[in-house]
């Protein structure tokens, strides 16, 4: 059986092994695949793996032999799931593989904003401290997290992990979620106070987004929502870029209503040169790397191979189609 990886470079730029797939069939790995290359590369192929190569209906219609699409990610919006379901194409994803890494990135962004570690390291290296008369100096205000309120919009495994770290730092943690908060959930996360979205936005010093991108969450953070937040609020986004109305957030950063933004995601990636966040003050942007630690990608590879193995064995897991 031939297994085609259409865009393997993102997952594996050469530092991990494709061996878990090699034992399952004849493996062909492409670093990147342009839209017009999909058909020739998948001609007669029943199994493929994709990260960001898209499979809308008009593409799937021209691939009658395709029976399995393994998404090398948690998100699976690159595939027309409705068409796949209607035509018996099994689509799988990789849930929860980046829980620890994404929680780590969330806290890293918060700490960078509050302690400005990178900025002060740069000042030390450029000689500013050497020229200073005092044994210490700081450029701009620093923020102690103890006693601050962290609001988590969305509360799955990543947010739960973040809440435990924040609680250990002495923060109060609020959270809201779309579905019902069960007794078991409250018992598992006693450090969290569950509230509605309006309360979370109004009472949080820092708001971190951990929600999927849906019709309800796209453009969620508008100017009117920002107006209900505390003056000087800090926003963190490690979920999906379009959750924020970037123009509204940039405007609030300029006015000072939002003190700082830490984001690992933006609405269009790679970021466009005219994205308003690039010129907004106090904006900390990273290039969608929360999921990218070596250990995290190895876990993704392992689970993706297990997904395919289970499918080949007739008992598919992590099916989203």
Where in the sequence numbering do the catalytic residues fall? 240, 269, 288
Backbone angles phi, psi at 223, to 5 degrees: -60, -40
Q: Rounded to an integer, what distance in angstroms lies between the CA atom of residue 207 and that of residue 149?
A: 9
Q: Rounded to an integer, what distance in angstroms lies between the CA atom of residue 154 and that of residue 197?
A: 10
Structure tokens at 9: 């470079």
Structure tokens at 186: 């409250």
Asked if residues 291 and 269 have their Cβ atoms less than 8 Å apart, the reply is: no
Asked if residues 69 and 79 have their Cβ atoms less than 8 Å apart, the reply is: yes
Check the CA dihedral 142-148-149-155 and report its sign. Answer: positive
DSSP β-bridge partners for residue 70: 49, 92
Q: Rounded to an integer, what distance in angstroms lies between the CA atom of residue 35 and that of residue 178?
A: 36
Check the CA dihedral 99-285-301-15 and report its sign. Answer: negative
Q: What share of the chain is helix, strand, coil (3-state, %, to 5)?
A: 35, 15, 50
- Using a 10 angstrom Cβ sphere, with 0-12 exposed, 13-18 middle and 19 or more buried, the burial of residue 203 is middle
**Continuous H helices in 239-317:** 246-255, 294-312
């Amino acid at each position: 059986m031939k297994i085609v990886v259409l865009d393997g470079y993102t997952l594996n730029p050469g530092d991990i092994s494709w061996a878990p797939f090699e034992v399952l069939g004849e493996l062909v790995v492409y670093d990147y695949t342009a839209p017009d290359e999909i058909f020739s590369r998948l001609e007669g192929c029943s199994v493929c793996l994709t990260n960001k190569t898209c499979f809308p209906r008009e593409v799937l219609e021209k691939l009658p032999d395709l029976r399995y699409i393994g998404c090398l990610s948690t998100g699976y919006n690159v595939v027309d799931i409705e068409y796949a379901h209607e035509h018996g194409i099994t689509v799988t994803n990789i849930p929860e593989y980046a829980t620890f890494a994404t929680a780590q990135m969330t806290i890293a962004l918060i700490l960078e904003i509050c302690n400005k570690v990178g900025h002060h390291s740069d000042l030390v290296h450029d000689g500013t401290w050497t020229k200073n008369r005092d044994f210490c100096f700081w450029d701009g205000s620093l923020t102690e997290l103890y006693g601050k309120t962290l609001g988590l919009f969305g509360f799955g495994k990543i947010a739960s992990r973040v809440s435990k770290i924040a609680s250990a730092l002495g923060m109060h943690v609020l959270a809201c979620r779309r579905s019902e908060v069960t007794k078991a959930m409250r018992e598992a996360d006693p450090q969290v106070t569950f509230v509605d979205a309006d309360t979370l936005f109004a009472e949080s010093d820092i708001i971190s987004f951990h929600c999927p991108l849906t019709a309800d969450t796209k453009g969620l953070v508008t100017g009117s929502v920002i107006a209900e937040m505390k003056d000087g609020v800090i926003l963190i986004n490690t979920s999906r870029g379009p959750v924020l109305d970037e123009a509204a957030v940039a405007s609030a950063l300029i006015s000072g209503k939002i003190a700082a933004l830490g984001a690992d995601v933006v609405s269009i990636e790679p970021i466009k040169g005219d994205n308003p966040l690039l010129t907004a003050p106090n904006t900390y942007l990273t290039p969608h790397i929360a999921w990218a630690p070596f250990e995290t990608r190895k876990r993704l590879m392992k689970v993706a191979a297990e997904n395919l193995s289970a499918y080949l064995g007739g008992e598919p897991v992590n099916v989203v189609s």
